[in-house]
Amino acid sequence: MALYAIGDIQGCYTSLLRLLDKLSFDPTADRLWFTGDLVNRGPHSLDTLRFVKQLGDAAVTVLGNHDLHLLAVAARKRKPHRKDTLDEVLAAPDVDELLDWLRRRPLLHWQAPYCLVHAGLPPQWDLATAASCAAEVEAVLRSDNYQAFFDHMYGDVPYQWSPQLEGWERLRFVTNCLTRLRYCDKDGRLDLTFKGAPSTQDAHLAPWFAAPNRRNRETEIVFGHWSTLGFYAGDGCYCLDSGCLWGGELTALRLDGEKRRTSVSCRASLPPGSVNT
Ligand SMILES: Nc1ncnc2c1ncn2[C@@H]1O[C@H](COP(=O)(O)OP(=O)(O)O)[C@@H](O)[C@H]1O
């Protein structure tokens, strides 16, 4: 049995199949963790969703900002963006089933010694706080009233964590950390606007995983979301978004035993190999 974490797919289904082929992935024995953003901007979001869903217990995927955006568009709470490639999902005969499954995915998955999230954790959260905050948003997304969440999800404020945060503001802050965070300042205030690579940011900002006094250092954090950072292993953290969507690579990191990185180039869309599912 092997456990692999795989970076943001964003509809690059043929790259995923080539990567699984290269790994000799066996769904009856191996396990996959996905860093979220299964969909959008890439060409085959529908195939990707169907594939990951049918993996059942062989896969864990956490929700990313593009997954949440798909749910918001489907709920008619947000207009699609010009660059979205979600129409095929929205018109699919199994759209309800797929999106019902999607909204029940976690925002954080913890299995010692790893924590899997799409984007990051603010420095003020220890792992227990992160897990309970994620559970608050997950409970809303799994409820019958989940569509109301999308009326309040968008926006960059509040910038800073306080245990006193309540209601939609609290849920927005939690969602922004887990699905959009890249940089914060030395006091842990989020900056959700800058998307560039580390060393190109303003001097007052640092990547979230390099924040001083980060209280979640006890766990190894596996994340995606940050294609300009690319594959990164440092500070007890692993970024697996190596820019598949932008013609970079799709990356898997073996998490059990010795960590081993496997990637496929996404420059050429080669015909997919057969996958044993
Ligand atoms: N709270 C939020 N505020 C703004 N955008 C959000 C939020 N949650 C999800 N999104 C979605 O995240 C996506 C951001 O896209 P983009 O700015 O290109 O960033 P990325 O680098 O993650 O692709 C959009 O589809 C947007 O609708």
Q: How far does the centroid of ligand 1 lie from the alpha carbon of residue 78, in Å?
A: 11
CATH topology of domain 3-265: Purple Acid Phosphatase; chain A, domain 2 (3.60.21)
With bands split at pLDDT 50, 70 and 90, how would you rate the model's confidence at 117? very high
Alpha helices in the chain (DSSP H): 13-23, 45-54, 65-74, 87-90, 95-103, 127-141, 149-152, 167-180
Residue among 35, 39, 66, 78 whose CB has most ligand 1 atoms within 8 A, to mutate: 66
Domain boundaries, the chain: 3-265
The reported pTM is 0.95
Q: How far does the centroid of ligand 1 lie from the alpha carbon of residue 66, in Å?
A: 6
Would you say the CB of residue 154 lies under 6 angstroms from ligand 1?
Answer: yes
What does the DSSP assignment read for 83-102?
T---HHHHT-TTHHHHHHHH
Atom of ligand 1 nearest to the CA of 40: 25
pLDDT tens per residue across span 174-218 = 999 999 999 999 999 999 999 999 999 999 999 999 999 999 999
Q: What are phi and psi of 237, to 5 degrees?
A: -130, 155
ipTM for the whole complex: 0.88
